Amino acid sequence: MGLKTDRRTAMKLGAASLAVWGAPQIMTRAAHAETPPSQEIFSGIRTFQLGQFEVTAIRDGGRAMEGPHPIFGEDQEADVVAELLQENFLPADRFVNGFTPVLINTGSERILFDTGLGAGARQGGLGQLRARLEAAGDAPGDIDVVVLTHFHGDHIGGLMEEGEPAFPNARYVAGQAEFDFWTHEDRLSGPTENSARAVQANVVPLADNMSFVGEGDEIVSGITTMEAFGHSPGHLTFHVESEGSRLLLTADTANHYIASLRRPDWHVRFDMDKEAAAATRRRVFDMVASERIPFLGYHMPFPGVGFIETLDQGFRYVPASYQFEL
């Protein structure tokens, strides 16, 4: 299939330099600028075609951390987790956590899924969504819809910019169950306090322009909500389909391509209901494997697109290569 663009995007591409990822079909786009954006910005943008839809994965940044244990495999002994990682050519004591919002251009609307960590994280090299959107030729005012998969800070941090909506012309979509949980007054104390206050600052001011969805609801034609509770009380995934081509946006259903997929039953520190999250992982990735559809995960290795096959106790992650070039 060839890359399809609208007139505005075609004009941008004519003024831009193109950086190829694998082949011309999956590419980085740059807008005309007096000073060309740095290669570092370009390296965090990957675009591919899904039927009539243009899908862009945007790297909000990456953070090297200690672990993965006990963040992943919290209910396991450290040496058990270390052995699995080393078998898969990964270090046992350090890992990189990446953050990947997704922009889908349907041809009539630009829909952004999640907003990264925002301005407060930029000093540490994160919060790059805004700059990379602009490098790709999409100003914040161009975004028509912002969809929130859930309300953890690395997904809602970019909603506001200097106290004002970061995407001034957008309408917003969020899960009803997620909103109800985080805005309840009881969440403003105890272990949920910090996250609830972030929701009060970033999400609640936008509520009057927000639509609330649940299982089976349609965002726009071709993009449908699927509930995947456990990581958070109202965590959502989204099924995307155009001209028979399909993609599942799995958000935080699995957050490490080895520890969470090879061992989906292992507990993860950031999962709020660990047993429910494990059951959701099995259900979602059983579907991805059996139906042989690609998925894009928020914390998968950038650009986060791959396939799943069942393997012994869990699943094997297969990164996409040239499937979207054909």
The structure tokens listed for 300 are 């998968």
Q: Which residues pair with 94 in a beta bridge?
A: 66
More confident residue, 15 or 89: 89
Mean pLDDT of the chain: 89
Q: Which architecture does CATH list for 7-325?
A: 4-Layer Sandwich (3.60)
Least confident of 32-41, 135-144, 204-213: 32-41
Q: Residue 121 pLDDT > 80, yes or no?
A: yes
- What does the pLDDT look like over 55-70, one tens digit per residue? 999 999 999 999 999 9
User: How far apart are alpha carbons 83 and 92 in whole angstroms?
Assistant: 8
- 79's enclosing H/E stretch is helix 78-87
Residue 6: pLDDT band (50, 70, 90) is very low
Which pLDDT score, from 0 to 100, does residue 39 have? Answer: 56
- 156's enclosing H/E stretch is helix 153-156
- Helix/strand/coil for 146: strand
Which pLDDT score, from 0 to 100, does residue 40 have? Answer: 56
Return the ∠ at Cα 223 (arms to 256 and 310), rounded to 5°: 35
Q: Domain boundaries in the chain?
A: 7-325
Instruction: Identify whether the C-beta of residue 152 lies closer than 8 Å to the C-beta of residue 232.
Output: yes
- Helix/strand/coil for 143: coil
User: How far apart are alpha carbons 53 and 126 in whole angstroms?
Assistant: 27
User: How far apart are alpha carbons 198 and 157 in whole angstroms?
Assistant: 8
- Helix/strand/coil for 184: coil
Taking residues 283-293, report their average pLDDT: 98
Residue 5: pLDDT band (50, 70, 90) is very low
Of all residues in the chain, the percent with pLDDT exceeding 90 is 85
- What does the pLDDT look like over 161-212, one tens digit per residue? 999 999 999 999 999 999 999 999 999 999 999 999 999 999 999 999 999 9
Helix (H) and strand (E) counts for the chain?
8, 20
